[in-house]
């Protein structure tokens, strides 16, 4: 007899982070929160520290009606830490570290930037810690970004499975993503920079279970797009384990979904989440801008 799969329960704790600088309205049971009553451009240094702690707790936080310029987006991002290397995109002419993600209304593509479950650039030795994203223009419906809480997903594994995973190292590489893009487009693609391309394909080996650099919280470092193997295992051993952990982590219970409005701003913690931006709004324009903040080597 097998146990049938039941929805995970227990260990859900998305109660609002308390701050003297802003309000917090949780978005879903698993993760995510709206930050209210503040303009990002007016936060004091203490307010920024408090916002970072709200982010570590809720994993993704967002604010409505911010309407930042590229310069304000860059200036706010710099207060979170130095910029990370962006592995794929080119910045705007005005602000080189503010990267456009734009899909035009008449653009139809088999695969969109960020359209599969992923954590940002885990193939780098030092992947970005935080990503920020804002919307200028969006579809009337569709184009929602969804995140999943990989710390909560780890908590919902049995102690035996957790203990098995802790010593393992996951190999993160862009090679399967590259091959898929070439297959879908029927043509060779490139990162646009040979060194970045070589680094992306070679990838990096990271702990499968990482400890958050600030809170010490354990989270799965799993990625549907970039996890390409497990150190010391054959493909046939590693693939079912990676597939199971992607399936486990992306189940509905651990996620939250953001319906964007122009002027919104959001940020997420790449050490404890995966996310995706779906390719479901053909016929509408979506104009977004993002920055990534440097992170250290995952431990």
Q: What is the binding site for ligand SIN (CB under 6 A)?
A: 101, 114, 131, 145, 275, 277, 288, 290
CA 63 to chain centre: 17
The burial class, CB within 10 Å (0-12 / 13-18 / 19+), for 296 is exposed
If the CB atoms of residues 98 and 157 are measured against ligand SIN, the closer one turns out to be 98
> Which C-beta is closer to ligand SIN: that of 33 or that of 258?
258
**Do 255 and 28 touch, CB atoms closer than 8 A?**
yes
Least CB distance to ligand SIN at residue 101 (A): 5
Who contacts 30 (Cβ-Cβ below 8 Å, separation ≥6)? 12, 14, 148, 149, 152, 253, 254, 255, 256
Nearest distance in Å: CB 243, ligand SIN: 21
Residue with Cβ nearer ligand SIN (60 or 157): 60
User: 18 vs 89, which CB is nearer to ligand SIN?
Assistant: 89
- In the complex, the smallest distance separating the C-beta of residue 94 from ligand SIN, rounded to whole angstroms, is 20
| Least Cβ distance, residue 112 to ligand SIN (angstroms) | 8
| Nearest-angstrom CA–CA distance, 269 and 90 | 22
Nearer to ligand SIN, 26 or 278 (CB): 278
Please, which residue, 103 or 155, has the CB nearer to ligand SIN? 103
CA-wise closest residue to 285 among 103, 99, 101: 103
Written as six digits, the tokens of 15 are: 């109660």
Taking the least distance from each CB to ligand SIN, the nearer of 19 and 150 is 150
Could you tell me if 71 and 95 are in contact, meaning their C-beta atoms sit under 8 angstroms apart? yes
The rounded distance, in Å, linking the Cα atoms of 15 and 27 is: 10
Residue 200's closest CA among 209, 192, 208? Answer: 192
Residue 293 CB, nearest approach to ligand SIN (Å): 13
CA distance 24 to 231: 41
Nearer CB in complex with ligand SIN: 50/279: 279
| 113: phi then psi, degrees, rounded to nearest 5 | -55, 125
Least Cβ distance, residue 75 to ligand SIN (angstroms):
20
Judge contact between 17 and 43, C-beta under 8 A.
Answer: no
Residues 6 or more apart whose CB falls under 8 angstroms from that of 161 comprise none
- In angstroms, what is the minimal distance from the CB of 277 to ligand SIN? 2
CB of 280 to ligand SIN, least distance (A): 11
Q: What is the sign of the dihedral through the CA atoms of 4, 118, 297 and 75? A: negative
Q: Which residues of 17-37 are buried (b: 16+ CB within 10 A; e: fewer)?
A: bebebbebebbbbbbbbbbee
């Amino acid at each position: 007899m097998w146990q049938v799969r039941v929805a995970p329960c227990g260990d859900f704790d998305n109660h609002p982070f308390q701050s003297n600088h802003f309000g917090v309205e949780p978005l879903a049971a698993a993760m995510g929160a709206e930050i209210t009553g503040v303009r990002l451009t007016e936060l004091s240094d203490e307010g920024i520290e408090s916002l970072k702690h709200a982010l570590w707790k809720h994993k993704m936080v967002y604010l409505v009606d911010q309407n930042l310029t590229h310069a304000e987006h860059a200036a706010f991002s710099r207060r979170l830490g130095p910029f990370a290397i962006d592995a794929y995109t080119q910045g705007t002419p005005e602000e080189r570290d503010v990267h456009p993600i734009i899909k035009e209304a008449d653009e139809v593509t088999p695969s969109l930037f960020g359209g599969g479950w992923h954590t940002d650039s885990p193939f780098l030795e030092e992947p970005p810690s935080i990503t920020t994203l804002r919307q200028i223009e969006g579809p009337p419906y569709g184009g929602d970004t969804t995140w999943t809480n990989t710390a909560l997903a780890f908590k919902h594994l049995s102690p035996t499975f957790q203990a098995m995973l802790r010593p393992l190292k996951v190999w993160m590489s862009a090679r399967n993503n590259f091959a898929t893009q070439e297959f879908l487009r029927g043509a060779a693609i490139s990162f646009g920079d040979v060194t970045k391309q070589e680094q992306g394909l070679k990838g990096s080996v990271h702990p499968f279970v990482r400890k958050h650099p600030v809170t010490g919280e354990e989270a799965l470092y799993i990625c549907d797009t970039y996890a390409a193997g497990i150190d010391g295992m054959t493909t046939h051993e590693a693939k079912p384990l990676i597939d199971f952990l992607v399936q486990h982590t992306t189940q509905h219970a651990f996620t939250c979904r953001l319906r964007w409005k122009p002027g919104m701003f959001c940020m997420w913690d790449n050490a404890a989440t995966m996310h995706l931006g779906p390719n479901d709004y053909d016929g509408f324009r979506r104009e977004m801008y993002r920055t990534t903040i440097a992170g250290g080597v995952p431990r």
